[in-house]
Structure 1
Amino acid sequence: MSNDIREAPAEIQLADTVFQKGRTRLPVVNAPTGASDILDHGWHASIDAHLARDGGVLLRGFADMSIERFHDFARSFGSPLLSYEFGSTPRSEVTKGVYSSTDYPAHQWIPQHNEQAYTTNWPMKIWFYCDVAPGDRGETPVADARAVYQGIDPALRERFASRKLMYVRNYGGGLDLSWQQVFNTDDTAVAEAYCRAHQIEWEWKEDGDLRTRQICQAVARHPRTGEDVWFNQAHLFHVSSLEDTTREALLDLVEEEDLPRNVYYGDGTPISDAELDSVRAVYDAHRLDFAWQRGDVMMLDNMLLTHGRAPFSGPRRIVVAMAEAHAA
């Protein structure tokens, strides 16, 4: 990849347009007249200011965009791009540090979430690049995690915050990612070392598959802005996230403790469907959709703005890069 990052001395004025729904804002920066290369402009400080205030920015209209230019742009912020470790969904590596946004059936929604909020280590910055715009739908909605935090019923918010969350994962068995995929190894000792280093409890089952449990945060405080955010993936991991027929079929096949993924309060007590339905409703109330255009780059503060994916038809190629690892 090229390291040819050219900084312009002039300050760039951002936010020609702002997409907004309620408290969720996404400033849109259109390429200056005559500009073709996203690396030609020294606007990192301005982008960082927008990230702190709005949580994200959409860069649009750069004619010569490519996956290589996207890689170089993400890398130009000064931190090495992260590999996708301890993942919860299938991804394909497109080039070093750049991944498919999630290899998931096109007809299904991916609910709003902060990347890797189901563990205690996550990226602070995340970039998306639209290489092929979807033919129909296929948006990557965003929602402000500060607004979601404020919108959660205070009693439920306090319950989640004080009791924390325990994520339980059962790998493989033809039902979910294998432990080899998740830990990027075939060596059980390497997987165990990762678990040990990240305070993840592990158990090898009789069939040779792996079960893990990890207690994690339900809310978090942003290390730079000091703001509280709703920061977990309970609504994705909980069995209530499945369609009724899928849930019933899975529970006919396996016991609850052997479900591919589930979540409980940190002390192991159940979280009710109704509690998580109320959380999903708050996400929906703050979800902002926008239509991708070929060449768009969206940069997010992963703690301040959540992302998701709408169902789509036709071709669609959105790739993602992540940087700035942060530990709870």
Structure 2
Amino acid sequence: MNTTPSWSPLVITPQDAGVEASAAGLLRVVGDTAAISDQLVKEKALIFRGFGVAEETLDPVMDELLPNRLAYVHGNSPRTKVGKNVYTSTEYPQEFTISMHNEMSYAAAWPARLLFFCQKAAATGGATPVTDSALWLASLDDEVREAFGGGVRYQQNLHDGLGLGKSWQDTFETSDRGVVEEFLTRTEAEYAWQRDGSLRVRQIRPATAVHPVTGDEVWFNQSDQWHPAGLGDDTAAALAQILSADELPQSVTFADGSPIPDAYILQIRDRGLEHARDCDWNTGDLMLIDNMLVSHGRRPFTGTRRVLVAMSD
């Protein structure tokens, strides 16, 4: 198989755009929202480099690029909210790779755009890999693509404040059960409150999606991140010693409830990473991605790394 990526994000610098190297210069570039939208669909991901943006000058840029900033409701990654629907990109341990995924592709609704901002680059490593989601789909064996044709079933066990994974309060950014129930009913998810106060949620979702503008079919699910095989042998074995498959914080099967073979999960995870292009961060960089056309992950790093993320419909 040819694993050489045939795509990479478009890098835009002040010199390219003919503006001063400042947040004000970047605002001149992104202020033409129609042009940026067209460019984003064409290029799939845009990196804005060398504009000298800092956290205190970030909000006006976000307002232009993310017209309706969304809260991270029903998100499954550990994050901290640091501003107006602005979050740390992840708090997953820095020594691990985060495999490729499209944000909230397991949910009934997902953000159309993500904007990453590098407040502080890592000492070493810490790149954000990005993969063309249509290329990822095409890279999978026919057997795997056909097996996922009926979709997948996700299950979450969200604790009540003490346990593995996220609590239901953190996941839905509320402590009101009624708000959670209204949200889940609206998204046609199955849910049940457990005796210990935890919440079990099940959803059946498609494994691929079609982009509304380009018409491209893309790989669009998080089966490899929700399946124990995607965690690595040691982690999966440790979890199996303390929890049954039905008790895991999150798990996935085919839509009919049948198990997904480990070999399928490993192929999905590995080929997504094989086709990735790394965005090696400089402090002050921003990257805007179309969340359907491009998946993203994270490379391990050393030192202190702080990347913020916000999302929009």
- Specify if TM > 0.5: yes
1:26 equivalent to 2:13? Answer no
Match of 1:168 among 148, 155, 174: 155
1:239 equivalent to 2:225? Answer no
50-59 or 38-47, which moves further after superposition?
A: 38-47
Cα distance, 1:43 vs. partner? 4.2
Match of 2:140 among 137, 142, 152: 152
- What's the TM-score, normalizing by structure 1? 0.88
Where do residues 39-54 of structure 1 align in structure 2 (5 Å cutoff)?
A: 39-41=27-29, 42-54=31-43
Answer yes or no: is the 8 Å Cα contact 1:71–1:98 preserved in 2: no
Amino acid at match of 1:181: D
1:112 equivalent to 2:100? Answer yes
Answer yes or no: is the 8 Å Cα contact 1:239–1:261 preserved in 2: no
Question: Which residue is equivalent to 1:35?
Answer: 21
Amino acid at match of 2:85: G
Amino acid at match of 1:180: Q
1:98 equivalent to 2:86? Answer yes
1:133 equivalent to 2:121? Answer yes
Where do residues 293-304 of structure 1 align in structure 2 (5 Å cutoff)?
A: 293-304=282-293
Answer yes or no: is the 8 Å Cα contact 2:66–2:113 preserved in 1: no
- What's the TM-score, normalizing by structure 2? 0.92
Alpha-carbon spacing, 1:68–1:199, altered in 2? closer, same or farther (3 Å): farther
Answer yes or no: is the 8 Å Cα contact 1:179–1:210 preserved in 2: yes
Question: Which residue is equivalent to 2:266?
Answer: 277
Partner of 1:282, secondary structure, is helix
Where do residues 185-264 of structure 1 align in structure 2 (5 Å cutoff)?
A: 185-264=174-253
After superposition, give the CA deviation of every residue in 1:266-289 in whole Å (9 maximum; x if it has no partner). Answer: 111100100111112221221111
Question: Which residue is equivalent to 1:67?
Answer: 55
69-78 or 300-309, which moves further after superposition?
A: 69-78
Q: Distance in 2 between matches of 1:26 and 1:78?
A: 18
Q: Distance in 2 between matches of 1:200 and 1:304?
A: 25
Q: Distance in 1 between matches of 2:82 and 2:303?
A: 20
Partner of 1:122, secondary structure, is coil
Amino acid at match of 2:183: Y
Q: Distance in 2 between matches of 1:78 and 1:123?
A: 10
Answer yes or no: is the 8 Å Cα contact 1:234–1:263 preserved in 2: yes
Question: Which residue is equivalent to 2:45?
Answer: 56
Cα distance, 1:314 vs. partner? 0.6
Amino acid at match of 2:112: M
Q: Distance in 1 between matches of 2:127 and 2:280?
A: 6
Answer yes or no: is the 8 Å Cα contact 1:107–1:312 preserved in 2: yes
Match of 1:81 among 63, 69, 79: 69
Partner of 1:181, secondary structure, is helix
After superposition, give the CA deviation of every residue in 1:109-131 in whole Å (9 maximum; x if it has no partner). Answer: 11111000111210001100111
Cα distance, 1:257 vs. partner? 0.6
- Number of aligned residue pairs: 303
1:308 equivalent to 2:306? Answer no
Cα distance, 1:78 vs. partner? 6.3
Amino acid at match of 1:167: Y
Cα distance, 1:178 vs. partner? 0.7
> Please, which runs of 5 or more residues in structure 2 have no aligned partner?
none
> Please, which runs of 5 or more residues in structure 1 have no aligned partner?
1-20
Q: Distance in 2 between matches of 1:122 and 1:157?
A: 22
Amino acid at match of 1:203: A
